[in-house]
Chain A
Amino acid sequence: MKWKVRVLVRLKEGLNDPEGRVIGNALKNLGYKVENLKVPKCFEFYLESDDPEKDVDEMCRRLLANPLIHTWEYTIEPVK
């Protein structure tokens, strides 16, 4: 069975996100009241699998995220 997967990998709460800070400051300079901007990484792909939950979680642990500094979430939809 084929699935469409979207994974979001975020830095754990409390960890400094320098890229987010710089982009947040740039938006502030444009006059917007932005706070605490973060830059999560998004991965989108199609996956052929009988157990997509297990495979996607394993992919996050093994490569897409670094469990020491990241958390992750994902959505999995069947492809018609």
Chain B
Amino acid sequence: MPKFAVIVFPGTNCDFETVEAIRKAGGEAERVWYKESIKDFDGVVLPGGFSYADYLRAGAIAARQRIIEEVKELAKEGRPVLGICNGFQILTESGLLPGALRPNKIPRFICRWVHLKVRDVNTPFTQLYEPGEIIKMPIAHAEGNYYVDDPSRVRIVFQYSDKEGKITEEANPNGSVLNIAAVANEEGNVLGTMPHPERASDIHLGSEDGLRLFKSMVEWVKR
């Protein structure tokens, strides 16, 4: 059974929920303290939270820890690396994903459900979605405003949209360029997402749309 490491830094949250979502999706998962090693795992997830209290910039300090060198090795081997929220910030800060996550356009913490349009189903994380499908997941962040100098060169995976799938300014919660909510690296095996799939992995939470992301990841490793 594919085994995933869920890395825990000081200030991480949603790690237990992420482990639970991976198990529900048919994989094995274990929380790994950032001072330990992830060498024996098939993939890795950097969950949400406020690593090092978001001091300096969100994700900046975590991105310079030794375990991130191991994450880079794992990514280079083509294994799946998923960053959720603070994990996304860590992935951009470490250079594993292009761009930067800046404070929200209106500088306050946002916590609410959003609609997303699935733009790329050719990644290990989205192969079970339909192209153009509209899904529902929650966001919870103060620094989710995605910026990149040349968005045409970025592999966009999810975009903030309205219920009908229209990409409008009103549907953009944080000011991200081109309503970008999730991006992948060129190879597709590293994904950063501001919306939280683990918080949308059970119908009792309000949506199961996020569970398919973990199922995609687990099935992709099984291949």
A interface, CB within 8 angstroms of B = 15-16, 18-19, 21-22, 62-64, 66, 68-69
- Residues from chain A with Cβ under 8 Å of B106 in the complex: 18
Cβ distance B122 to chain A, nearest Cβ, rounded Å: 26
With both chains docked as a complex, state the minimum distance between the C-beta of A45 and any C-beta of chain B, in angstroms: 14
Question: What's the minimum C-beta distance from B109 to chain A, rounded to whole angstroms?
Answer: 12
Contacts of B57 in A (CB 8 A): 66
What 0/1 readout, one digit per residue, does chain B (132-160) give for beta carbons within 8 Å of chain A? 00000000000000011100000000000
Within the assembled complex, what's the spacing in Å between the Cα atoms of A62 and B68?
A: 14
Considering the complex, give the chain A residue whose CB is closest to the CB of B148.
Answer: A68
A16, B175: Cβ atoms under 8 Å? yes
A-B residue pairs in contact (CB < 8 Å), sample of 10: A16-B175, A18-B106, A21-B107, A22-B107, A63-B56, A64-B56, A66-B57, A66-B93, A68-B147, A68-B149
Q: How far is the CB of A53 from chain B (nearest CB, A)?
A: 22
- Please classify the interface of chain B as helix (H, G, I), strand (E, B), loop, or mixed, using the class held by over half of its residues: loop
Closest B residue by C-beta to A18: B107
Given A16-B105, A62-B64, 15 other A-B contacts at CB below 8 A? A15-B147, A16-B102, A18-B103, A19-B107, A21-B107, A63-B56, A63-B60, A66-B57, A66-B93, A68-B99, A68-B100, A68-B147, A68-B148, A69-B100, A69-B147
Q: Are B60 and A19 in contact (CB-based, < 8 A)?
A: no
| B:29-76 near A, CB below 8 Å | 56-57, 60, 64
Selected from B93, B105, B147, the residue in CB contact (under 8 A) with A18 is: B105
Give complex CA distance A69, B188 in Å.
24
Tally of A-B residue pairs with Cβ under 8 A? 31
B→A interface (CB under 8 Å):
56-57, 60, 64, 93, 99-100, 102-107, 147-149, 175
- Residue ID in chain A nearest B63 by CB atoms: A63
**Which chain A residue lies CB-closest to B99?**
A68
- Of all A-B residue pairs in the complex, the 8 with the closest CB atoms, nearest first, are A18-B107, A68-B100, A69-B100, A18-B103, A66-B100, A19-B107, A22-B107, A63-B64
**Across-interface contacts of B99 in A (CB, < 8 A):** 68
A64 to B55, CA, bound (A): 11
Residues of chain B lying within 8 A (CB to CB) of residue A15? 102, 147
Q: Which of B99, B107, B149 has the most CB of A within 10 A?
A: B107
Residue of A nearest to B103 (CB): A18
Q: Check A69–B102 contact: CB distance below 8 A.
A: yes
Closest B residue to A62 using CB positions: B64
Closest to A20 in B: B107
Q: Residue on B with the closest CB to A19? A: B107
**Closest CB-CB distance, A41 to chain B, in whole Å?**
8
B-side contacts of A22, CB under 8 Å: 107
